[in-house]
Structure 1
Amino acid sequence: MAALFGARVRRLRFAAGLTQAELSGKVHVVGTRITQIERASGAKPTLDLARALDVALGADDLLVELWPYVYREAFPDWSRRFMECAERAVAVREYAAHVVPGLLQTEQYARAVLSVGLTLSSEEQLEERLTVRMARQERLGSPDRPDLWVVLDEAVLRRPIGGCDVMRAQLELLLCVAAEHDITVQVLPFDQGEHDVMGGSLTVLTLPDGSEVAYTEGAHYGQLIEEPAEVSRFTVTYDRLRANALPPLMSLDMIRSAMEGCNRGANVPSRSERRRVAQEQLQQSGGRQLRGGRRRNPGGRRPRP
């Protein structure tokens, strides 16, 4: 797809009578960047660059429409397939174990989530991934918006991703979207105990033809399930989750309670302050410091590894 995108840019550039240097000036990038795009080498074009090229070359949104397919090439086959299904789904049922689902994230919350780990190697990649995530949400405001049913583990509400201010805004958004007729939000409380999807998340998509696919995801893996019998099993699992979750109105009360916890969080000692106090307590008891220092070793014997 990157090669196809580059070929289209080259053809449109020739038709416009522009050199690579002239085109680079119009879209405000170095000339070698246009060479990389046309040869499908180097970094893939960002969405903003695709938009700029589309305008400069009068492509009538052709390049913007091609860009998602170029972007997806960085993902495994099963992940690309899931994204394609999600874009066409008429109903989305999702259980989120750790973070708010991407379709309902605020921009700052999404930025905090995407900034964690080693999956992105540059600020440009982060901005690109963030742009795509926010663009996916546009479908919720379109006439063909899917029915969305989300079950949030209580942990999603309690962990202050991005800090209290970011988390408070995220919880406010959840309260707002839960008022929509075709969006249902439930919370699965801690006291519900064990369940079938502990440690991961689950999404069941209903496609326009009535068929369904399921997608399970953990911290470093994902799996798309399309075999009907297996999908049916995951559908039953999801039905059990939402049956065990709090009803929607009680769920909203828990979200409001979590927001109040964020407000009180302003009085919680900072990480550095908690570390300092813990370190002093450990030193007083002869324990190991959190950073540096050694545990006292009576008798001078080396502890076993």
Structure 2
Amino acid sequence: METKIFSPEQIKAAAIDLAAGELVAFPTETVYGLGADATNELAVKKVYAAKGRPSDNPLIVHVADVATVKKYVAAFPEKAQKLTAAFWPGSLTLILNLKPNAFSKTVTGGLTTAAFRNPKNQVTLDLIRALGRPIVGPSANTSGKPSPTTAQHVNHDLNGKIAGIIDDGPTGVGLESTVLDLSGTTPTILRPGAVTKEAIEQVIGSIENNHHHVTAEEIPKAPGMKYKHYAPNAQVLVVKEPSEFRAAIAWAAKQELPFGVLATDDILGQSSDVRFKYQFSLGDSLTTASQHLFDGLRYFDLLPEVKLILAQGFSKEGLGVAYMNRLEKSAGQQYFTETN
């Protein structure tokens, strides 16, 4: 199969492929998603095959408006109304209880709930409207690898496996959406993102966090809770504090293994007198670091000689919660310490 690259002006052509049961990758403000008609079970099964994704890992359903969600859910609670008014379109995914047989088990992972998102990208909203049905949209990458933030990342992983990719340039946020479970008695964040716990609580009051890694016997209610995620080929070590980078680089240099440094400009500048060959800039702030984290991890994947990546950590506050959630998973929870 030849994977076509669609421009944003070719939405109708991309929608025709989706309607025919093909897969088309699409842009959002977070990462690129791998789209299929959510009402076509055979098309959705192709998503799992193309990504190599475990079949019990549920998919997020992307919609163009709240009215579409209401067609599928058993109830649309008041908190959902307040949250969609405040954050949709945007980087917030809501898990809601479904009507019986609303979607196939292929979409839900066998659960009675589904996750819904209204992305903040006009190209994709137009695509969903052109299709006339919601689309599933896990990240458009090989399962377990860093999520794609450009069409080129998608093409690298899925060229020849999907019908097309809509290229709308780099994504703005760079980290996947916040996933909030509204299907139980207490709203609970299952995956942190750019919409923070504090921002949500300003709208609906107290909520809980539950970012745990589920067991082999459990079915995850949201992506990223069970399986290996965001991992490049090289081992990642998180450097917790900026003051530790010089020691980390000196230690890595002694290992006689090519290593990369993934950090903000000030860290790279301060460490310039310590010899290291491979580096990738995360920009100048937590915001830019979040935008470029996956891009940086993928950059080092294109350098097979790099066996170790020293990556900058941030405080787990605000957006830092989501950034560290992804970085720690990419590192397998491994941190640099003076005793490494």
- Larger RCO: 1 or 2 (CA < 8 Å, sep 6+): 2
The structure with more radius of gyration: 1
TM-score relative to the length of structure 1? 0.27
TM-score relative to the length of structure 2? 0.25
Decide which structure has greater strand share.
Answer: 2
